């Protein structure tokens, strides 16, 4: 529709005619955010995360809402320069010097890692690590800190020991399953992803300790869709435990007459490092984050609220280490008593951490050493070579495989005679090829 041109005189006349309105009493200078508001927003974010469950990126906004509001709901008793903050993609590593770009710092870090790895490959792993090598840097999805923003000499008034103290860190993983997240099938699927994330969480914790020498305790949380696991390292690991473990490559083809003593030595030296790994205490294992409530309207998705277990998991690091922080409201109120975890669940979780962080890597190292000819105490004596094939019987399940016999058709070996003929033919082919 046509509009009148705006002139300078018309603007002045309009400005003079505008009267100031009194502020609406329902919109004061303070934010009022109720439990109902929280559950509305969580339910909306939950639905969005479920619809896009094939990727973890929608989980970020859901848990950012929860962690940020939980942080804002806590304040220092009497010091306004202290805040609890939720930081996405925080760095557990060396902060780049001021004036140096992240790209330049990343390149220098990569060169240092390659140099350390090269020295390890040349047999100087122990020397290199004793010089203070640090594990690779890590960036968890979220980490919470208590910060003090005033002059460091005034820190004592806050009750903190540093201007930036860690509360906990979070790693988020997608739960991409066809079933709804409150079903038993989804819980089982989440548990499998929990187990696959244990090594990442351990390495993140070790990087956090290694790059922050003053940190004495660390809480970690794995979130898979709508389930969580909480662990805590109550004591700082030793410097030997924090040393990085470099993967040792082993040749697939072992040559006769070649000594692999140096390579075997590297493998054997790594076994104690895995044995000395410090396992965390399991506080919760694959527990639900949300309660589900039916709604009466046409919405197919339920209304959600936080479980007592997750409320305790968020609040327990604060209660343990930062008693000077107090709540502003009743939002996120912790239960008076910690919701228990069954002995069976705790035992299962402890076995999972022990198997994944210790037993399986040690077993793999031993198998690599055995493949190079090393024998451990208790290993059986190697079988002496025999000039005749082993006895065999007519058994449909018995099969034999031969190397360098690609031209032979696959077949079942049912008699000693057939097996002897195949071995003899294979030997003749090798001799003919050598003569040629």
Ramachandran class of 193: left when φ > 0, alpha when ψ lies in -120 to 50, beta otherwise: alpha
> Counting Cβ atoms within 10 Å, is residue 74 exposed (0-12), middle (13-18) or buried (19+)?
buried
The pTM of the full predicted model, rounded to 2 decimals, is 0.75
* pLDDT of res. 412: 39
Taking the domains of the chain in order of start, what are their residue ranges? 35-96+118-371, 390-426
69 vs 249: CA distance, rounded Å: 47
- Under a CB-based contact definition with an 8 Å cutoff, are residues 270 and 262 in contact? no
What is the torsion angle, in degrees rounded to the nearest 10, for the CA atoms of residue 236, residue 240, residue 246 and residue 247?
Answer: -90
Cβ burial 198-234 (10 Å sphere, 16+ → b, else e):
beebbbbbbbbbbbbeebeebbbbbbbbbbbbbbbbe
* pLDDT of res. 31: 87
137 vs 108: CA distance, rounded Å: 13
* pLDDT of res. 24: 61
* pLDDT of res. 401: 43
Q: 120: which 2 tokens?
A: 């390890």
Q: 406: which 2 tokens?
A: 């690609």
385 vs 253: CA distance, rounded Å: 20
322 vs 164: CA distance, rounded Å: 12
The pLDDT profile of the chain, 436 residues, written as one tens digit per residue, is 334 444 445 444 444 444 555 556 566 788 889 999 999 999 999 999 999 999 999 999 999 999 999 999 999 999 999 999 999 999 999 888 887 766 666 666 566 556 555 554 554 444 333 334 789 999 999 999 999 998 888 888 888 888 899 999 999 999 999 999 999 999 999 999 999 999 999 999 999 999 999 999 999 999 999 999 999 999 999 999 999 888 888 877 767 666 788 888 999 999 999 999 999 999 999 999 999 998 766 567 789 999 999 999 999 999 999 999 999 999 999 999 999 888 778 899 999 999 999 999 999 999 999 888 888 988 887 655 544 444 434 444 434 444 444 444 444 334 344 455 555 555 554 445 444 4
Which residue bears the tokens 């339910």?
A: 43
Cross-strand pairs, 231: 220, 282
Q: 317: which 2 tokens?
A: 């690091």
Which residue bears the tokens 């709604």?
A: 295
């Amino acid at each position: 529709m046509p509009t009148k041109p705006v002139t300078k005189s018309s603007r002045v006349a309009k400005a003079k005619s505008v009267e100031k309105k009194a502020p609406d009493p329902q919109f004061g200078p303070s934010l009022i955010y109720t439990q109902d508001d929280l559950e509305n927003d969580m339910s909306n974010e939950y639905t969005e995360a479920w619809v896009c469950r094939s990727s973890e990126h929608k989980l970020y906004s859901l848990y950012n809402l929860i962690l940020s509001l939980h942080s804002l709901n806590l304040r220092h008793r009497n010091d306004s320069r202290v805040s609890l903050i939720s930081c996405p993609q925080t760095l557990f590593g060396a902060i780049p010097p001021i004036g140096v770009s992240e790209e330049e710092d990343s390149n220098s870090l990569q060169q240092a890692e390659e140099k350390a790895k090269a020295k390890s490959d040349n047999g100087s792993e122990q020397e290199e690590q004793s010089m203070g090598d640090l594990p690779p840097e890590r960036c968890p999805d979220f980490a919470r800190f208590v910060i003090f923003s005033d002059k460091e000499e005034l820190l004592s008034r806050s009750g903190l020991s540093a201007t930036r103290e860690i509360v906990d860190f979070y790693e988020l993983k997608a739960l991409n399953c066809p079933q709804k997240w409150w079903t038993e099938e989804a819980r089982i699927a989440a548990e499998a992803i929990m187990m696959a994330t244990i090594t990442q969480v351990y390495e993140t914790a070790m990087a956090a300790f290694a790059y922050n020498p003053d940190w004495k305790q660390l809480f970690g949380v794995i979130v898979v869709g709508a389930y969580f696991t909480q662990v805590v390292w109550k004591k700082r690991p030793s410097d030997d435990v924090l040393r990085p473990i470099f993967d040792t490559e082993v040749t697939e083809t072992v040559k006769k007459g070649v000594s692999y003593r140096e390579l075997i030595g590297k493998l054997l030296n790594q076994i104690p490092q895995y044995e000395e790994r410090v396992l965390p205490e399991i506080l919760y294992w694959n527990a639900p984050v949300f309660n589900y409530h039916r709604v009466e309207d046409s919405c197919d998705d339920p209304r959600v609220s936080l479980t007592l277990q997750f409320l305790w998991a968020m609040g327990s690091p604060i209660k343990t280490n930062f008693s000077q922080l107090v709540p502003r409201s009743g939002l996120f109120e912790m239960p008076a008593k910690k919701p228990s975890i069954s002995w069976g669940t705790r035992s299962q979780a402890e076995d999972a951490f022990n198997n994944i962080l210790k037993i399986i890597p040690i077993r793999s190292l031993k198998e690599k050493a055995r493949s190079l000819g090393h024998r451990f105490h208790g290993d059986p004596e190697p079988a002496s070579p025999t000039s005749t094939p082993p006895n065999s019987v007519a058994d449909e399940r018995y099969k034999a495989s031969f190397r360098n016999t690609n031209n032979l058709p696959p077949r079942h070996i049912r008699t000693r005679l057939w097996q002897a003929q195949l071995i003899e033919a294979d030997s003749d082919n090798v001799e003919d090829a050598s003569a040629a």
